[in-house]
Amino acid sequence: MEGFLSDSACERGDVTMELEGGAALVTGGASGIGRAVVGHLTAAGAAVAVLDRQDIPGSAGLSIPCDITDEASVVRGVRRAHEELGGLTLAVLNAGVGGFGTLLELESAEWDRVVGTNLRGTFLCLREVARAMVEGGRGGSIVAVTSVSGFLADRGMAHYSASKAGVAELVRVAARELGPFGIRVNGVAPGTTDTPMFAATARLPGYRARVAERTALGGVGTPDGVAGAIVSVLTMEWVTGQVLAADGGVSLWSPIDPVESLIETTGGSTPRPSP
């Protein structure tokens, strides 16, 4: 394909992305997981540009107003970050929205809002970041934030789950196309995490406790914990096209787990196998 490099990215030495001295872009960096990622990257010595619809007063990095559903806004925002930071080498595509509605009740406008933000918006950001990195000629590392909902079947979340499954596939295709330029593309799939989006579940009685109980490590994830996984994936030099579940093991829960029924019959204690 025209524009692809003939020698391998490995031979050029472009696959290693150091955080210190790097130029990073983070979408949705004003709150939640994105804000925690910004903190990790800044502490590691990277220059950071935050793209978000919200104003970020007192930000130590470059704050750029951006609506990822608006193509022109994304093009302007990424270009500004690329030019003002001296060439992007790192990116975390985190911006997204949640939603709830059963298939029989879901309006097409709500479908378009969620899919348009989470999938189309991530595509726009990925495309523009990739163009900037190819132009820079130094390779790069991109992480898109998807969700364990992208490979689970949660009722009332068809639009959200479909959008996040689409992001995971976008990651894989992008990794194949951008590898020859020394650009790695991976995904991180959080589970339930204490963010403003998760706060909306407070209206569901017992939801938080039930999720915490079914998480292998117990409890609900923190933005800082997920951000640590994202930053780690950014630096993995021989990994591309992969999606890491940073969910504390909640996606390991199975509705047909026989031990769960045994626990219920023994009053909460885990039964031991007979000798």
Residues taking part in catalysis: 160
Please state, in angstroms and rounded to a whole number, the distance separating the CA atoms of residues 162 and 169. Answer: 11
Query: Which residue do the tokens 């806004």 mark?
Result: 73
CA distance 161 to 153: 8
What is the DSSP code string of 75-144?
A: HHHHHHHHHHTTS--EEEE-------B-TTT--HHHHHHHHIIIIIHHHHHHHHHHHHHHHHTS-EEEEE
Strand order in the sheet with 47-52: 62-65, 47-52, 23-27, 90-93, 140-145, 183-190, 243-246
What tokens appear for 62 in the block? 């470059």
- C-alpha 112: how far from chain center: 20
Q: How far apart are CA 240 and CA 238, in angstroms?
A: 7
In the block, tokens 């504390």 appear at 248
- Token digits of residue 41: 């990257």
